Amino acid sequence: MGKANIMYPILANAGVPMIFLTLPPMVVLILPVILIEFWVARKTVAPVAQSKRWIGILTANLVSTFIGWPLAWGTLLFLEIVTGGGRAHGLDSPIGAILAVTYQAPWLIPYEEHLYWMIPAAMAFLLIPFFLISVYSERWILRRMWKDTSREEMIRFSWVGHGYSYAFLLLVVLIYGVYSIGSR
């Protein structure tokens, strides 16, 4: 019991590593994302058999979720640390608040009384680099799996499919944000 009391203040000031808040919902939401991208693939990628579409989209999403997202988050965290983003900028000004949820989005400074809005805002911001990682990494995987698909079809599918799936993810984050702010 003594050790827990000694460590708790350290943990309370550790900040919020957003990977632990973004990855679990992504695991839960991977099925609707796959369904959305499969639907888009049916409309945009003609020569691929249905079973190959399922396997390709499933494989690409599993790789981008469990390898791409953590690598992107780690890269963003590294950039945050080496460029001085680990220090508190304060929330007293609009610039400070923007920096707190964009520049520091990978690992939020523990402004505990503001986390109710900072966490959904950082989640929404992190969707931007995660979107780009997903577009390019999944396209790279699918080009190897769907060899008969033209480059143009693959590019169109990558942007349109991820546009729809990330619009869905953004909607989920916005609903979470409204709930978070409303329950305060």
Asked whether the predicted pLDDT for residue 3 surpasses 50, the reply is: no
Higher pLDDT, 99 or 14: 99
pLDDT given at position 111: 86
Stretch 158-175: mean pLDDT: 97
Q: CA 9 to CA 23: how far, in whole Å?
A: 26
pLDDT given at position 13: 60
pLDDT given at position 183: 86
pLDDT given at position 145: 95
pLDDT given at position 137: 96
Per-residue pLDDT tens for 18-54?
Answer: 999 998 999 999 999 999 999 999 988 878 889 999 9
- SS3 string of the chain? CHHHHHHHHHHHCCCEECHHHHHHHHHHHHHHHHHHHHHHHHHHCCCCCHHHHHHHHHHHHHHHHHHHHHHHHHHHHHHHHHCCCCCCCCCCCHHHHHHHHCCCCCEECCCHHHHHHHHHHHHHHHHHHHHHHHHHHHHHHHHHHCCCCCHHHHHHHHHHHHHHHHHHHHHHHHHHHHHHHHCC
Break the chain into its structural domains and give their ranges.
15-182
Categorize the per-residue pLDDT at 125 as very low, low, confident or very high, splitting at 50, 70 and 90. Answer: very high
pLDDT given at position 8: 36
Stretch 158-174: mean pLDDT: 97
Higher pLDDT, 163 or 101: 163
Which neighbouring-strand residues pair with 16? 108
Higher pLDDT, 48 or 62: 62
> Which residues, at least 6 apart from 49, have a Cβ–Cβ distance to it below 8 Å?
none
pLDDT given at position 109: 87
Asked whether the predicted pLDDT for residue 87 surpasses 80, the reply is: no
Q: CA 147 to CA 45: how far, in whole Å?
A: 11
